[in-house]
Amino acid sequence: MPRVQCGTVDRQRARRVLGCALGLLLSALSIPAYAQYSTAEAGFPQPSYDMMEPGTLATAKLPQLDNVSFNQHLNDQLPLDTHFKDEAGNDVTLGQYFDGKRPVVLAFVYYSCPMLCTQIMNGVSRAIKVLPWTPGKEFDVVFVSFDPREKPETAAAKKSALLNYWSTQSQASAWHFLTGEEPEIRKVTSAAGFFYMWDVKSQQYAHLSGVLVLTPDGKLSRYFYGVEYSPKELRLALFESAAGHIGSVVDQLLLYCYHYDPSQGRYGVIVMNLVRAGGVLTVLALGGFIYMLRREEKLHPREGHA
């Protein structure tokens, strides 16, 4: 039987694995490009990036996002005397939803947001759906619109759609959808570290996504970023907040809502840059794997017989 180098077999196997991984990576990265081509062919208007100066690197942060942030103000008190309208048009104060007994899940959204705010509300609903606790008994849920143009009618329509989708109409009294005037909104969002901006060109708000858990007396206890929230972590945060405990600082895995084009179902520069960055990191990881494999072969050469 001919002699066969085991190292050669290992290298061939590694090349096949690398080839498959790179193939999958390239296929995944080609999807957004194909989607852009298809929508252009179909006659949909392509997003305009004329807000970027000529020659600006694609990875540069847009100037519209300079003042957009979601900073953690743990243990700070929300201004509970601020006035809003609930979804029924009643005059309310934020303090009405903090009874000193139950913690509160709160999120800043706007109800006419093209996509991301709905994803935030769905993320909250999805996590709460599997909790062993019931809104209205162990905790309450409050959404505050940061768009001063929105009225109670818009909030009521959003609430109805959300509760119907998740079949939680029986919990309606524990889900609160608020609208308000600009000064009152700013007081609350600033106290929570939530800063957003209106972009005139896109006619959208640039903002970050996340959810807050507050103690029964209205102190900021825990921040959750993104649009998916772990039911286990949410339950722990509610349990600790109910006892007045303040959580520790969590990593800010932020997601921008900016220049989403609903006609194309995709985002603009920011999210595409995140996709590209993920692709680069994947390639670097694969390259490191191959380097370590080759180094191992050089340090520990093996021979065998087939």
Domains of the chain, by residue range, sit at: 6-44, 64-257
Average confidence (pLDDT) per 10 residues, the chain, 306 residues: 48 56 49 34 33 37 71 95 98 96 96 89 96 94 97 97 95 97 97 92 88 96 93 94 81 64 48 63 82 78 54
213 in Cβ contact with 224 (< 8 Å): yes
- Can you give the pLDDT at residue 119? 92
Positive or negative torsion for Cα 92, 94, 95, 99: positive
- Can you give the pLDDT at residue 15? 56
Residue 165 and residue 169: Cα distance in Å, rounded? 9
Burial of 159 (0-12, 13-18, 19+ CB in 10 A): buried
> What homologous superfamily is domain 64-257 in, according to CATH?
Glutaredoxin (3.40.30.10)
- Can you give the pLDDT at residue 158? 97
Provide the CB-side half-sphere exposure for 84 (13 A, CA).
32
**pTM here?**
0.66
- Can you give the pLDDT at residue 297? 75
